[in-house]
Amino acid sequence: MQLAIDLCLIILFVVFIRQVRTVGKSSKVEQMTGNVEQVLKEAKGIAGRFETQLEKKREIVNKLNEHLDSRIVSLNLLLNRAEECLASAKGNKFHTDVDLLQQEIIALAEGGSTCDEISNRLGISKGEVALVLDLKKKSLETEKVSTVG
């Protein structure tokens, strides 16, 4: 009988220990859950602040883009005015057709005008005039060689 009571006490003690461990584990789980919830709250707060900062950055970028666009428009207007002033000061229009410009350079050179005179008259650089005349000269030389050969 004493053995049966001892055995019952041992079994009850083991059950009690298991329950204590289970209760201990559940409190640890609750504690970990609380920690995770706290971390999630902090992360949510950080995400909210980050979103606010991103929105401010977007506003700044949009304002900068608008400002730059207005500056570009202003610069284009100034450039157009400068081109008009330069064209009226030289008494010539700007040449948009390259072939026409090349033909004028060649015609003026054949008429006896110098590179400086052509440059001043057409409002282009001396280097551009010299380049066109050199290309024309080489083109004529190539034609002569091909007709002889």
Per-residue pLDDT tens digits for 51-104: 999 999 999 999 998 888 878 877 877 887 777 777 766 655 554 567 788 888
Bigger pLDDT: 127 vs 28: 127
Residue 6 has pLDDT above 80, yes or no: no
Confidence of residue 27 (pLDDT cuts 50, 70, 90): low
CATH number of 95-149: 1.10.10
- Output the pLDDT for position 61: 93
User: Measured between alpha carbons, how far is 20 from 51 in angstroms, rounded to an integer?
Assistant: 46
Q: Where are the domains of the chain?
A: 27-92, 95-149
| pLDDT tens, residue by residue, 117-149 | 998 888 888 888 888 888 888 878 777 766 665
DSSP state of 124: -
Q: Structure pTM?
A: 0.38
- Output the pLDDT for position 88: 67
In terms of DSSP H, where are the helices of 1-149? 2-90, 98-110, 115-122, 126-148
Name 8's Cβ contacts closer than 8 Å, sequence gap at least 6: none
- Output the pLDDT for position 37: 84
